[in-house]
Amino acid sequence: MKKLCAVVLVLMLAAGMVFAAGAREEAAPTIDLQTATWEEIVETAQAQGQVTFYSWYFPDYFREAAADFERQYGIKVNLVIGDQTANFNKVISEKDRPVGTVDAMIVGGQWVKTTMDLDLFYGPIKDIIPDADQLAPSLWIVQEGVLTHGYLAPFHRNQTGILYDPQRVSNPPQTFAELEAWIDANPKLFGFNDPSRGGSGQSFVHTVIKHTTGGLEKYVGDTEVVPEKVANWDLAWEWFNDRKDKLTFTVSNNDSIIRINDGEMAMTFGWDDNVQDMMNRGNIFTRAQMYIPEMGAAGGGDTMGILKNAPNKAAAAVFIAHITSKEQQIKKFEMLGAYPSRIDIPIEGTLLTEEDRENNALAWFPAPYKDYMIAEFVRNVLMTQ
Amino acid sequence: MRVRAEQQKTPLHVLQERRRRRFYLMLTLFFVIVQLIWVGIPILMAVMWSLVDPKNPWSFPNMFPPSFSFAQWEYVFKYTNIARALRTSYSIAPLAVLLSFVLSLPTDYIMGRKKIPGKKIFMLVVLLPIIMPGMVVALFLSRVFANFGLSQSFFGLVLAHTLMGMPYMIRVLTTSFQSIPQDVIDAAENLGATTFVKIKDIFLPMIRPGLLAGMIFAFIVSIEEFNLTFIIGTPTFETIPTILFSFMGYNFIRTNASVVALIMMTPNIIMLFVVERFLKSDYLAASLGKM
């Protein structure tokens, strides 16, 4: 017995050492991306030979894009489709290591402020990526109220709006007063997610603040919360508390969509790319419709960043250039229906009309207000009886 | 009148037997209904959601999917690393179970058989890895693993899974060691049994049911472990939960999550049935080495 235990332990330790030794690889060749030409960057990327990219959605598109990239450049893509929170926890846990394990990743509005505050990303990369000028100019500068200073490359643009079941909602509301009336007449059939758990819920609270506290213009340009400007936000919390028994609170963007599909709700706030993806995969009926109401709804987009301690920065830059290329952006749009980040692609057949986007899309107020909004909503609405 | 007469003719013990049978039948029915609700329905729902046809979704007001297809299964096998993840998961789990058994054995014996001060506090400390939120443990441990060069290594993952399985193994085996009657050990010693004989013929057979239970826990914990694996293992290694979690949580996709859950669940259910057969073995017979 003792012999057996000893043999097993020795074998496992030996195997572990072999595996551990195997994991330590030689340092990849590097280059200063800020001064190198694009040809030099591609050459270095090919010498690096691989790139590790993290996302939490669109596994179908990213697999295809990775295969195209490998064919075109001969660079292997280690693609990890993980969980959003886990992805960011991982890169944050590796932040102080000189060399991490992740090269580049998708950045959503939920985490952009935290990652920028922690100075996680290498950059700016706007002057490195070819065709950078063809990507949504505003998304290079600001993502959901957070200044990103050209560190994060636009991946796609997305927009929140009202998602509804046309079999149950014949005349969807356009103005805030119409929405109030609809909620009063159809208790529990309208819902939105807890804003601390997803952007579509944040967008709805943002719209309510706009209409109950006197518009959004006064916040433009602020870098921190001005107490006088949020003094009347109690009106927004009152609006929610007065209708608490008529509203449905959900736990995530997808949960809201699922509850529409299951018939528990008939109308919600959702992201257009999210709804389209769920539709493509049979998680919501194809009769679902979406629009941006006249009362307004916020939009934005997701971006991609290169980690400061990325082992293969050049390969990461080439991969981001590949994803933002016209060919790949068209492919993504055709596969998923997600709105491209490029501005030189004609768009047809999306859930939201161009007219709605032009007339009713709202810009988020600055990030400090968004953080404040989430914290105060939880305190004043979710945690009260 | 006739019924009463028949009842009067039927002996009392036959009536009691009938009542007992009716009672057992009701208990069995109750058990079956509860199992159907708690186990059967979720599995049935997962199966149905995994077979939803993307072109014809299962939506309100349909009670059942209007049509079935294997598109969701094809999607998971085509666009995720599920095959590689299955291989990794089922390579790590048996090693983690074995290592957690070997490493916990001395502790189990001491805690189960010896009187030491602070035993209760120690038993509580042992549970800390499973009491603390998984991501918190993962974030703290990732630095330790990185410093020892164990990040991105197979052995590091086995160690991480061992760590998460050991609390279960220690709790169950400590109780097993505690339950061994001292009389049996004394009798063996009086008959001249050596330490090796005591281990082989008394301790191991008598802790076997506990060992199997501990192994089941450690195995399932390993198969379902996400946080540590994700932080210290990816991108080099992916296990089944790292794929499952991409379809759950923030980005919950019910159809694909059902497919991965069923893939993860099936081998575990088979293993549980196999182990259950071992557990049915007679405890006393085991202790007397008649198995």
**Who's near A66: CB < 8 A, 6+ residues apart?**
A53, A77, A79
Which chain B residue shows the shortest CA-CA distance from A193?
A: B250
| Confidence at residue A255, expressed as pLDDT on a 0 to 100 scale | 95
| Confidence at residue A155, expressed as pLDDT on a 0 to 100 scale | 96
How many whole angstroms from its chain centre is CA B160?
17
- Other CB atoms closer than 10 Å to residue A315's CB: what's the count? 31
Tokens linked to B146: 């990185």
* Most B-contacting residue of A254, A268, A319 (CB-CB within 10 A), to test interface: A254
The shortest CB-CB distance from A20 to any of B75, B155, B200 is to B155
* Most B-contacting residue of A18, A81, A163, A250 (CB-CB within 10 A), to test interface: A81
How many whole angstroms separate alpha carbon B91 and alpha carbon B40?
29
CB pairs under 8 A between A and B: 159
Tokens linked to B273: 């049935």
Mean pLDDT of the B260-289 span: 71
Domain coordinates in residue numbering, chain B: 2-50, 81-287
Does the beta carbon of B230 lie under 8 angstroms from any beta carbon of chain A? yes
> Which chain A residues are within 8 Å of B108, Cβ to Cβ?
none
| Confidence at residue A7, expressed as pLDDT on a 0 to 100 scale | 56
> Which chain B residues are within 8 Å of A197, Cβ to Cβ?
250
> Does B277 score more than 80 pLDDT?
no
Q: Domain A159-299+354-382 is in which class?
A: alpha beta
| Confidence at residue B274, expressed as pLDDT on a 0 to 100 scale | 78
Mean pLDDT for chain B? Answer: 88
Q: Are residues A5 and B102, on separate chains, in Cβ contact within 8 Å?
A: yes
Given 2.60.40.10, 3.30.70.1230, 3.40.190.10, 3.30.70.1070, which CATH number is that of A35-158+301-336?
3.40.190.10
> Which chain A residues are within 8 Å of B159, Cβ to Cβ?
16
Percent of chain B with pLDDT over 90: 58
Domain coordinates in residue numbering, chain A: 35-158+301-336, 159-299+354-382
Weakly modelled stretches of chain A, pLDDT under 50: 17-25
Show which of residues 48-107 on chain B sit within 8 Å of chain A, judged by CB atoms: 52-61, 71-72, 75, 78-80, 95, 98-99, 102
Task: Report residue B80's pLDDT band, with 50, 70 and 90 as the boundaries.
Answer: very high
Tokens linked to B20: 């007992």
Show which of residues 232-291 on chain B sit within 8 Å of chain A, judged by CB atoms: 234-236, 238, 242-243, 245-246, 248-256
The shortest CB-CB distance from A282 to any of B53, B200, B251 is to B53
> Which chain A residues are within 8 Å of B57, Cβ to Cβ?
261, 279, 282-286
> Which chain A residues are within 8 Å of B149, Cβ to Cβ?
20, 23-24
B61: preceding bond cis by omega (within 30 degrees): yes
Mean pLDDT of the B130-138 span: 86
| Confidence at residue A2, expressed as pLDDT on a 0 to 100 scale | 54
Q: Are residues B234 and A197, on separate chains, in Cβ contact within 8 Å?
A: no
The shortest CB-CB distance from B139 to any of A93, A197, A284 is to A93
Task: Report residue B7's pLDDT band, with 50, 70 and 90 as the boundaries.
Answer: low
In sequence order, which ranges of chain B are alpha helices (DSSP H)?
Answer: 2-9, 12-35, 41-50, 71-79, 82-113, 119-126, 128-131, 134-147, 154-178, 182-190, 195-198, 204-224, 227-228, 240-244, 254-279, 283-287
Q: How far apart are the first and last CA of chain A?
A: 62
Mean pLDDT of the B13-32 span: 92
Which chain A residue shows the shortest CA-CA distance from B101?
A: A5
Closest by CA to A117, choosing from A302, A300, A374, A367, is A367
> Which chain A residues are within 8 Å of B92, Cβ to Cβ?
none
| Confidence at residue A21, expressed as pLDDT on a 0 to 100 scale | 44
| Confidence at residue A182, expressed as pLDDT on a 0 to 100 scale | 97
Q: Are residues B234 and A80, on separate chains, in Cβ contact within 8 Å?
A: yes
Residue A44 burial class via C-beta count within 10 angstroms: exposed 0-12, middle 13-18, buried 19 and up: buried
**CATH code assigned to B81-287:** 1.10.3720.10
| Confidence at residue B39, expressed as pLDDT on a 0 to 100 scale | 86
> Which chain A residues are within 8 Å of B249, Cβ to Cβ?
83-85, 252
**Who's near B1: CB < 8 A, 6+ residues apart?**
none
Does the beta carbon of A4 lie under 8 angstroms from any beta carbon of chain B? no
Q: How far is B127 from chain A (nearest CA, A)?
A: 23
Closest by CA to B233, choosing from B155, B136, B168, B177, is B155
Percent of chain B with pLDDT over 70: 92
Task: Report residue B288's pLDDT band, with 50, 70 and 90 as the boundaries.
Answer: very low
- Other CB atoms closer than 10 Å to residue B69's CB: what's the count? 15
* Most B-contacting residue of A89, A252, A276 (CB-CB within 10 A), to test interface: A89
How many whole angstroms separate alpha carbon A188 and alpha carbon A245?
7
> Does B66 score more than 50 pLDDT?
yes
* Most A-contacting residue of B228, B250, B252, B259 (CB-CB within 10 A), to test interface: B250
Task: Report residue B267's pLDDT band, with 50, 70 and 90 as the boundaries.
Answer: confident
Question: Among B102-106, B123-127, B154-158, B283-287, which is the least confidently predicted range?
Answer: B283-287
Closest by CA to A122, choosing from A146, A142, A144, A105, is A105
Q: What is the DSSP letter of A133?
A: G
| Confidence at residue A19, expressed as pLDDT on a 0 to 100 scale | 47
Show which of residues 180-199 on chain B sit within 8 Å of chain A, judged by CB atoms: 196, 199
Q: Are residues B72 and A282, on separate chains, in Cβ contact within 8 Å?
A: yes
Tokens linked to B12: 């009392």
Task: Report residue B290's pLDDT band, with 50, 70 and 90 as the boundaries.
Answer: very low
Closest by CA to B160, choosing from B88, B106, B212, is B88
> How many Cα atoms sit within 13 Å of A342 on the Cβ side?
22
Q: Are residues A24 and B149, on separate chains, in Cβ contact within 8 Å?
A: yes
> Which chain B residues are within 8 Å of A252, Cβ to Cβ?
249-250, 252
Same fold flag, A35-158+301-336 and A159-299+354-382: yes
Mean pLDDT of the B103-132 span: 88
Model pTM? Answer: 0.85
Beta strands in A200-293 (DSSP E): 247-250, 267-271, 289-291
Tokens linked to B30: 């109750």
Tokens linked to B100: 């957690």
